[in-house]
Amino acid sequence: MDPSTSANTAKLAGTQPPDIVVPTTNIPDRRSRLGSTNRSGSKVMTVAASLIVAALLGTLAFITRSESHQPSTGIARVGRLPAMGYNTWNAYYCDIDEELILRTAKLMKSLGLADAGYTHVNIDDCYSEKQRSSSGDIVANHERFPSGMKNLTDQIHALDLQAGIYSDSGWFTCQIYPGSYQNEERDAKLFQDWGFDYLKYDNLPLDSITRENIMGRYERMANAISDLARTSGKPPLTLSMCLWGREQGWVWARKYGQSWRTTDDINPSWGSITSILNQNSFITWASDFYGHNDMDILEVGNGALTYEESKSHFTAWALMKSPLLIGTDLATATEATLEILTSPEIIAINQDPVVGASISPFRWGINPDWVSNNTHPAQYWSGESQNGTIFMLLNTLDEPTDMFFRLTESPWIRAGRQYSVRDLWTHTDNGTAVRNLTVHAVPPHGVVALLLQDAGDEPAGIWPPCAVTEWCMYENGTHVEL
């Protein structure tokens, strides 16, 4: 959660978490895992020697850091595809209890969401007591989770679903429940013992005490999770890193977890959707198997989003390989909401077993290419899939628009070929495209998602003789006059 939306950060001043000892000395650099780096020792060294040692330590630290979360021997890899499931935050914030979560899990089954691929039931902030137990463990809230977490996950598993839990890389969660800083091993073990296999890990730091950057605080939990996997022989917890887009998680977070939030919190408005889309349009390269840009919990079914806006939101999240976590009250979800959330050909792209990469913009459209604009993000996108090239067209305008593109604007399209067109929303085959495609009257804030499959050479005799006019020349080497 964004700090601005979290409970009164100012309250933190002077508050001391009950069961954590404030460290009085520098916290050792856990990253190097080389034992003490003994700073005072350098006094007796010559400058040259310390430089060499420092360089060596730096190199070793780099090696251990970069290798510590590689798929090393004996640890199963998890989270190859974007996670799909439910998360309690957008619909309920702190107002959660075991009954609600079980009811939601049952609705996921009865409404066909589980069959559509939504297998995770993830509990967000506010499930615990405000204080750890006398032995130091996080305690499930006695009033709202009277049967205990193990009981709850047993019942979730009995529905053939998986369960996710939440904590924070600082001393507190965003709503000022216990965070896991300095309790990483203990909490990872507890979450596993409770029966969870997925951990959303939030980002409310307390820098004056941790003296860490975000990467260092997340690495502590990543290490605890892989150590636990090694000692327990169980698969590691899937680590969903709620970084709010800070400190460029897309550059480094793949090493530690399976997804990382790329922006501040979403809200159920078109402006929020286009702003998240805009920011993510520049970092689509970061998503692939086992590591995904997390564009935040879905708002489909919430707020004032129109049908077209919800479709655009869902399509973009799915095709950009974001985790798909439902965030609406399922008991009151409309037919339209469920239709969008279960759209099979859109979900299939998100869960593509062969191509892990996101779609990317090939033309921005309203604005020149590469312009960052939260109201008018890139409109023309394409990418590879198991079955062919995917196109996504977004109408960011407030009125219907015809949208035109030349097929070869996408790198996945071959010049001189024609392509069959499949509309992934209407589930119809829409003929064959030669050289270009126009979609008429795309609704305001609407989306078009297409699959183009190679259908052989283009028909003979089209003028000009080449799809890309820039390269248009005769066999004798003269340019074709156009």
Ligand X SMILES: *[C@@H]1O[C@H](CO)[C@@H](O)[C@H](O)[C@H]1NC(C)=O
Residues recorded for the chain: 482
Cβ at position 103, least distance to ligand X in Å: 14
The maximal CA–CA distance of the chain, rounded, in angstroms, is 86
Which residue, 12 or 159, is less far from ligand X as judged by CB? Answer: 159
Active-site residue flag, 265: yes
CA-CA-CA-CA torsion for 348, 352, 355, 358, nearest 10 degrees?
60
Contact 300, 314 (CB under 8 A): yes
**Whether the Cβ atoms of residue 141 and residue 158 lie closer than 8 Å to each other:** no
Does 349 bind ligand X (CB under 6 A)? Our answer is: yes
Closer CB to ligand X, 159 or 366, in the complex: 366
Tell me the closest approach of the beta carbon of residue 151 to ligand X, in angstroms: 4
| C-alpha 282, offset from chain centre | 15
Note whether 154 binds ligand X by CB under 6 A: yes
Q: For ligand X, which is the closer residue by CB, 291 or 446?
A: 446
User: Smallest distance from the beta carbon of 353 to ligand X, in angstroms?
Assistant: 7
Tokens of 236: 């590691």
Asked if 469 interacts with ligand X (CB under 6 A), we say no
Question: Do 324 and 116 meet the contact criterion of CB atoms below 8 Å apart?
Answer: no
**Residue ranges in 386-445 that form contacts with ligand X under rule CB under 6 A:** 386-387, 423, 426, 428, 430, 434-436, 439
**C-beta separation of 480 from 464 below 8 A:** yes
**Catalytic residue, candidates 125, 168, 197, 202:** 202
DSSP strand pairing (324-326 vs 84-87): parallel
Q: Copy the structure tokens of residue 196.
A: 């969870």
Site string for ligand X, 356-375 (x = CB under 6 A): ----------xx-----x-x
- Taking the C-alpha atoms of residue 394 and residue 389, their distance in angstroms, rounded to an integer, is 17
Listed ranges 165-173, 279-287, 323-331, 347-355: which one lies at the site for ligand X (CB under 6 A): 347-355
Peptide bond into 323 cis (omega under 30): no
The reply to whether 2 belongs to the active site is no
Which token pair is 385? 């899939």
Residue tagged active-site, from 124, 197, 264, 265: 265
Site membership for ligand X, residue 448 (CB under 6 A): yes
Which of 46, 135, 208, 476 lies at the binding interface for ligand X (CB under 6 A)? 476
Residues at the interface with ligand X (CB under 6 A): 147, 151, 154-155, 348-349, 352, 366-367, 373, 375-376, 385-387, 423, 426, 428, 430, 434-436, 439, 448, 462, 474, 476, 478
